[in-house]
Structure 1
Amino acid sequence: MTTDLRAALTTLADRYDEMADRLTAGHPTTLLGHFTVTQQRQAERAHVLRRTAADIRELLVTGRIPHDLMTDAELDQHGTPTAS
């Protein structure tokens, strides 16, 4: 992978994390906090953004698509997380 591509993907992952942080800024941080419906939806979206950023970083580290994103054919070729 070229240095420029690695830098671009790292920047993309960082931006996903930043978007997630902005979505949840000001939300209750304790388990006892009460979320509005909007805050709950924002927290769910933030979780997806953080997972996406983590998947990009895993791709950069391992050079492979994370198992939870593989198609059935890719899983057959590379094995399941428990089998690998």
Structure 2
Amino acid sequence: MNDSIILRIMQSGPPQSLSPQEIALETMPLTRAPVPPPVRAWVRYPDGPLQVDGEAVAWTAAAVAVRWRAGGAVHKAWVWSSAVERL
């Protein structure tokens, strides 16, 4: 995917994070990383999915909080753990 398409997708709105019910913090233990490991993750935006390189800042058995930098800004979203690959 070329940079202009990626920029258009990222400008379509904020990344779509999982809902609190999907993250299930009330029922699943949360792990916070003192040193977040690098990851590659699929993140959804209003205009489509993007694969981003970032870091896993927290996780449960089902979901991962991913943080990444793009376009001069820091972005964050909770995604399904199966959408994340540790680098």
Tell whether the structures are fold-level matches, with TM greater than 0.5.
no
Higher radius of gyration, 1 or 2? 1
**The structure with more helix, counted as a fraction of residues:** 1
TM-score of Structure 1 vs Structure 2, range by shorter chain: under 0.3
TM-score (norm 2): 0.23
**The structure with more strand, counted as a fraction of residues:** 2
